[in-house]
Every structure is written in structure tokens, then in C-alpha cells.
């Protein structure tokens, strides 16, 4: 026969279990707005019935229930949705960063507008036409020189601004890498805590959540692959264990976190020289993965990075990679084209200019020069193109005339001859050397067009992946996030269950009162 007080014990178990469920509800409500929080549930189970099995077990009719106990507290989470979420986050990270890089470039080039490089070239062209009509007019000549300076300065400005954004991209690569290393370290230390808690039979739900938030963040930088390692000891079957993380590359998985051990990444240029924040173009070549403990050291080359995934890949492909001279990457390619354009333009202009003769009948001299050395007009790029100072001081040096230049006794000045000015004006619309058959105008147009197409694609895919990510995030929230209505309902359920258990105690108390105080007092 069971104990006299068995009913009290059963009700007490009910009280404490319902109370823990009520407290968990409170925890859920408190964390309704916590990022990455998954709602928790108390898994209740009936305690073993009475009597237990055994030779000495009393024989009673039936197997009496003994109440309830909280078996575990579990977070509600779907790992498949998490996986999907991280994949989409990687894509979103890539395209968002890409779209940002393109849009900054668009801001600098500001086309189509009334103040871009094209307008400056158009105005230069107009001034040359004007020179063609009045080659003997000093003010017209001055206008041409000034418009020429404006063209050179437009090239300088665009080149400088693009280089500055490129520098910012480099800093972003460095900061992101640092941030990533810090995340790896945090995940490893959470792993360590989890490894210490799980063997005691507990579920560290809030640590799991914290770890998953960090992993979400990490997956916006890199595509990652995750596996779990069960803790030993008395760990529950539903415990998640410690997390191992690898970066997915085309050359296979590169392990970066194993349990409490983690790697640290360094971005390299050239042959394993770390990229520094010192000014200057340092194209990316590889990541050095410095392992520790169970994480082996490794290397991730640019070509091995999975295409179109993660912010890091996007930043690197915008900033530039490979050899310094190769100029591969979105910004280096644009700068290279701009340099080609400036060079072809300066060369074509100088060629025609030196063929003409100036107001005094002398042979024309190089108009555009290399900023680094006044006397050379080779190696002109967008960053160093400049109009030679002497033209500003003396615009009569502009070779607007097609007359034969003075050479000994032959050649006489022709101030009214504007033939060469027209030839100079027409350079813009003529196929230029070094532009693969394109004219200055069409080459520039195709540069802008190409940038537009890249930007359009990046914007579209950024919106697409954001939409998909939102859908997946909604799916995840549907499983894991706290619903206040639901918690309120649960609260009432648990509260009433608690009340009912308390009433049960009262009932048992009353029955005991009957036995203890009311029995054997016949006639009293």
C-alpha cells in the first residue's frame, strides 16, 4: 500500500512542474524582442508509476500514477531552415556589397548629367569649334585652354575619387576580416561553455541562440558549412553539442572552428604578405588560415573562393585581386579603362596638335603632358593627365592652323587658318589608337553602359536575395519566434494547472484532516 502522504507528493510535483513551465513562459515573454531568441518549451513527462518493479515491490491492484516532472527545457528550432537562411544570407551579403560598390562608382562618374566627363569633353569640343571659326581671337584661345584643363581635371578627379573608394574597400576587407576573426573566437568560447554544461544533463538553450546569431553574422561574410559534435558524459539526447565550422570553397571545406579551437584569417597580397592599411593598391591573393589546437593551418586562394557568395568575396572582387599589374577586379578594370581613355585621347590630340602650327606660325607642341614630368607626353593616365602650363600663359601656342610651320625660310603664319582646330575637334568622333577601334565617345559610352549593366544586375539580385532571405526568415520566425498570444494562452493554462494542483493539496489535506483529527472520536 502506498504512503499516506503520496497524494501530497504527487500534487507538489505538479505544482513545481507547472511553476517551471510558468517561469519559462515568463522567460519567453521577456525575450519576445531578443534577436535570435528561440521560444522555449518545458518538456513534461509523467514520473514512474507506483509500485516500481522489483522482488520486494508490494502487490497492489493497478499501477498508480505518481505525478509529473520537467524532463528538459528545449528551444524550438529547425536546423534545416537555419541552413537555408545562412545560404541566402551569403548571397545577400555578396549582392548588397556589390550593389553598394557600383552605386558609389555611379556617384563619382555622375552620368548622364550636365557635369560629367562627357559634358566636359563636349564643351572642349565646342570651344575647339569656336577656335575653328576665330583662330586669331585671344579670348577664344584662352577658352580652349581652360576647357582643356577642365577635361584633364575631370579625368584627374574621377581617377582620384575611384582610387579613394578603392582604398575604402581595402579597409573594409581588413575590418571585415578582423570582425570575422572575432566571431570565430566568440563561437569557440561559447562552444567551450556548452561543452562544460551539456555533460551535466542540461540544455544551454540561450547559449545555442547566441551561437546561432554569431553564425548568421559569419555566413554573411562567407558561405559556411556546419557540423555538430555530441558532448560526452550525461548529455541529453536532444543536446546539440559543440559546433564545427568550415568555409566552403571550390577546393573543398576549410575548417575554421572545431570545438573550443579556432583559426584566425589574414588577408594577403602577393606571396603571403599581409595587406596593410598603408595607402596604395595591394591586390588580394589569398587568406592565410592560422590554425590552433585541432584546427589545422591552411590557405584559401582567391580562385578557390565560391563565386557570388559572401561579403568578403564581393569586397575583394570590387577592390582587385591577382597581380598588381594585371588590374583585375571591378574597380581596377574601371580605372584601367579610364587610363586607356585618357591616354588615347591625349595621344590623338597631341598627334594632331603637333601637326599644326600656332598663331605665330611655329610648329605645334604637345598640349597634354604627364604631370610627373613636364617634358614627357608618354605614359599619360587619367591620374596624371595635364595641360602644359605654357598654354595657359600663352594661348597663342595653340596650333589651330594647318599652314606649313616655319622652318628656315619656308612656312609663314596664318592667323585666320582654323583648319587644325577642326581636326582637333573631330578627334572625339574618330576611332582612336589603343581603344580597339572605338572612338573616344563610344568607348566612354560603353564604359558607362557596362557599369550600368553590372549595377543593374547587382541591384536586382540584391533585391531578389533579400526577398528570399525574408521568406526564409519568416519561416524561421514561424517556428522559433515568440507569439504573445500563444504565451498568454500558455500562461493561463499553466496558471490554472498550478491552481488545480494547489486545490488538490487542499483536498488531500482535508482527507488527512478527516483521518487524523476526525477519526476515533465517536461520541466526543
Partner 1 sequence: MRVTQSMLSTNMLRNLSNSYGKMSVLQDQINSGKKITRPSQDPVVATKGIGYRTDLSKVEQYQRNIGEVNNWLDSSDDALDHVGQAVIRLQELVTDAANDSKTSDDRKKIQVEITQMRQQIQDLGNTKVGDKYIFSGTNTLTPLHDENGFAEPSAYPGLTKDVKIEVYDGVELKVNTNGHELFKEIDEMLANIEKSLGDGSEGPVISGYLTEISNIQNSVLEKRADIGARQNRVEMMDNRLASQEIIATKRMSENEDIDYEEAITDMVTQESIHNAALSIGSKIIQATLVDFLR
Which residues contact partner 1 (rule: CB under 8 A)?
Answer: 32-33, 99, 102-103, 106-107, 109, 111-112, 118-119, 122-123, 125-126, 129-130, 132-134, 136-137, 401, 403-404, 412-419, 422, 425, 428-429, 441, 444-446, 448-456, 458-459, 470, 473-474, 477-479, 481-486, 488-489, 492
SS3 state of residue 300: strand
In whole angstroms, the minimum distance from the beta carbon of 398 to partner 1 comes to 15
Nearer to partner 1, 187 or 338 (CB): 338
Cell of 305: 573562393
Shortest separation between residue 256's beta carbon and partner 1, angstroms = 30
CB of 11 to partner 1, least distance (A): 26
What is the CB neighbour count within 10 angstroms for residue 90? 27
- Residue closer to partner 1 (CB basis): 130 or 247: 130
Cis peptide before 51 (omega within 30 of 0): yes
Q: In what order do the strands lie in the sheet with 224-229?
A: 224-229, 242-249, 252-258, 261-262
DSSP state of 370: E
What is the distance between the alpha carbons of residues 152 and 124, in angstroms, rounded to a whole number? Answer: 10
Name the CA radius of gyration of the chain, rounded.
39
How near is the Cβ of 122 to partner 1 at its closest, in Å? 4
For partner 1, the closer of residues 287 and 330 by Cβ is 330
Query: Cβ distance 163 to 335 under 8 Å?
Result: yes
Q: What is the DSSP letter of 67?
A: -
CB of 316 to partner 1, least distance (A): 21
In terms of CB distance, is 285 or 403 closer to partner 1?
403
Smallest distance from partner 1 to CB 161, Å: 15
E-only strand ranges, 13-144: 40-46, 68-75
Give strand ranges (E) for 222-277: 224-229, 242-249, 252-258, 261-262, 264-269, 273-274
Distance in angstroms (rounded) separating the CA atoms of residues 472 and 82: 8
Q: What angle do CA 338, 343, 349 make, to 5 degrees?
A: 125
CA–CA distance, 107 with 120 (Å, rounded to integer): 17
Burial degree of 137 (CB within 10 A; 0-12, 13-18, 19+)? middle
| Beta carbon nearer to partner 1, 104 or 264 | 104
Q: How far is the CB of 425 from partner 1 (least distance, A)?
A: 8
Q: Cell 600656332 appears where?
A: 358
Residue 415 C-beta: closest distance to partner 1, Å: 4
Question: At closest approach, how far in Å is the CB of 53 from partner 1?
Answer: 41
Question: Which residue, 49 or 449, is less far from partner 1 as judged by CB?
Answer: 449
- State the minimum distance, in angstroms, from the CB of residue 103 to partner 1: 7
Which residue, among 355, 351, 341, 346, has the nearest Cα to 434 in the 3D structure? 341
User: In terms of CB distance, is 277 or 456 closer to partner 1?
Assistant: 456
Give the shortest CB-104-to-partner 1 separation in angstroms: 11
The nearer residue to partner 1, 137 or 304, going by C-beta atoms, is: 137
Q: What's the min distance (Å) between Cβ of 455 and partner 1? A: 3
Q: At closest approach, how far in Å is the CB of 456 from partner 1?
A: 5
Nearer to partner 1, 195 or 401 (CB): 401
Nearer to partner 1, 297 or 499 (CB): 499
Contacts with 32 (C-beta within 8 Å, 6 or more apart), sequence order: 481, 482, 484, 487
Q: Is 142 exposed, middle or buried (0-12, 13-18, 19+ CB in 10 A)?
A: middle
Quote the cell numbers at residue 26: 515568463
Closer of 424 and 508 to partner 1 (Cβ): 424
Q: Count other C-beta atoms under 10 Å from residue 121's C-beta.
A: 22
Q: What DSSP string describes 85-116?
A: HHHHHHHHHHHHHHHHHHHHHHHHH--SSSSS
Give, for 289, the enclosing helix (H) or strand (E): strand 284-290
**CB nearer partner 1, residue 408 or residue 518:** 408
The cell 515573454 sits on which residue?
29
- Phi/psi of residue 512, each to 5°? -65, -40
Distance of CA 231 to the CA centre of its chain: 33
Q: Which three cell numbers stand for residue 380?
A: 599619360
Q: What's the CA dihedral at 429, 130, 379, 281 to 10 degrees?
A: -80
Closer residue to partner 1 in complex, CB, 90/417: 417
Amino acid at each position: 500500500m502506498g504512503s499516506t502522504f503520496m497524494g501530497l507528493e504527487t500534487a507538489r510535483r505538479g505544482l513545481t512542474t507547472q511553476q517551471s513551465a510558468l517561469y519559462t513562459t515568463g522567460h519567453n515573454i521577456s525575450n519576445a524582442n531578443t534577436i535570435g531568441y528561440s521560444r522555449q518549451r518545458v518538456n513534461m513527462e509523467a514520473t514512474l508509476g507506483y509500485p516500481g518493479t522489483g522482488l520486494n515491490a508490494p502487490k497492489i491492484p493497478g499501477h498508480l500514477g505518481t505525478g509529473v516532472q520537467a524532463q528538459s527545457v528545449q528551444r524550438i528550432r529547425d536546423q534545416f531552415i537555419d541552413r537555408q537562411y545562412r545560404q541566402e544570407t551569403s548571397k545577400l551579403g555578396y549582392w548588397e556589397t556589390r550593389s553598394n560598390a557600383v552605386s558609389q562608382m555611379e556617384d563619382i562618374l555622375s552620368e548622364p548629367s550636365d557635369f560629367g566627363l562627357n559634358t566636359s569633353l563636349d564643351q572642349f569640343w565646342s570651344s575647339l569649334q569656336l577656335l575653328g571659326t576665330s583662330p586669331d581671337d585671344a579670348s577664344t584661345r584662352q577658352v580652349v585652354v581652360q576647357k582643356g584643363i577642365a577635361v584633364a581635371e575631370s579625368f584627374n578627379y574621377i581617377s582620384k575619387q575611384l582610387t579613394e573608394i578603392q582604398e575604402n574597400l581595402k579597409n573594409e576587407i581588413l575590418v571585415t576580416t578582423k570582425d570575422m576573426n572575432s566571431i570565430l573566437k566568440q563561437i569557440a568560447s561559447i562552444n567551450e561553455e556548452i561543452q562544460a554544461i551539456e555533460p551535466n544533463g542540461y540544455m544551454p538553450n540561450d547559449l545555442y541562440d547566441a551561437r546561432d546569431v554569431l553564425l548568421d553574422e559569419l555566413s554573411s561574410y562567407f558561405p559556411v558549412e556546419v557540423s555538430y559534435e555530441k558532448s560526452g558524459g550525461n548529455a541529453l539526447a536532444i543536446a546539440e553539442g559543440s559546433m564545427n565550422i568550415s568555409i566552403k570553397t571550390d577546393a573543398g571545406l576549410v575548417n575554421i572552428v572545431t570545438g573550443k579551437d579556432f583559426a584566425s584569417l589574414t588577408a594577403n597580397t602577393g606571396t603571403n604578405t599581409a595587406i596593410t592599411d598603408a595607402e596604395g593598391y595591394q591586390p588580394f591573393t589569398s587568406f592565410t588560415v592560422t590554425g590552433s589546437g585541432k584546427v589545422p593551418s591552411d590557405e584559401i586562394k582567391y580562385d578557390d573562393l565560391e563565386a557570388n557568395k559572401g561579403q568578403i568575396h564581393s569586397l575583394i572582387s570590387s577592390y582587385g585581386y591577382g597581380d598588381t599589374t594585371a588590374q583585375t577586379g571591378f574597380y581596377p578594370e574601371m580605372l584601367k579603362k579610364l587610363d586607356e581613355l585618357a591616354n588615347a585621347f591625349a595621344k590623338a590630340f597631341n598627334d594632331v596638335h603637333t601637326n599644326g602650327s600656332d598663331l605665330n606660325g611655329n610648329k605645334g607642341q604637345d598640349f597634354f603632358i604627364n604631370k610627373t614630368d613636364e617634358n614627357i607626353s608618354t605614359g599619360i593616365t587619367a591620374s596624371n593627365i595635364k595641360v602644359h602650363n605654357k598654354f595657359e600663359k600663352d594661348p597663342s601656342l595653340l596650333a589651330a592652323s594647318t599652314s606649313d610651320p616655319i622652318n628656315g625660310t619656308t612656312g609663314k603664319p596664318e592667323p585666320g587658318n582654323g583648319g587644325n582646330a577642326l581636326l582637333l575637334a573631330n578627334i572625339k568622333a574618330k576611332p582612336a589608337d589603343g581603344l580597339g577601334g572605338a572612338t573616344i565617345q563610344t568607348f566612354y559610352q560603353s564604359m558607362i553602359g557596362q557599369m550600368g549593366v553590372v549595377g543593374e544586375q547587382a541591384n536586382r539580385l540584391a533585391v531578389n536575395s533579400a526577398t528570399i532571405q525574408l521568406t526564409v526568415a519568416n519561416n524561421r520566425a514561424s517556428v522559433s519566434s515568440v507569439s504573445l498570444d500563444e504565451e498568454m494562452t500558455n500562461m493561463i493554462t499553466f496558471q490554472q494547472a498550478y491552481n488545480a494542483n494547489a486545490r488538490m493539496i487542499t483536498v488531500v489535506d482535508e482527507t488527512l484532516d478527516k483521518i487524523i483529527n476526525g477519526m476515533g472520536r465517536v461520541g466526543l
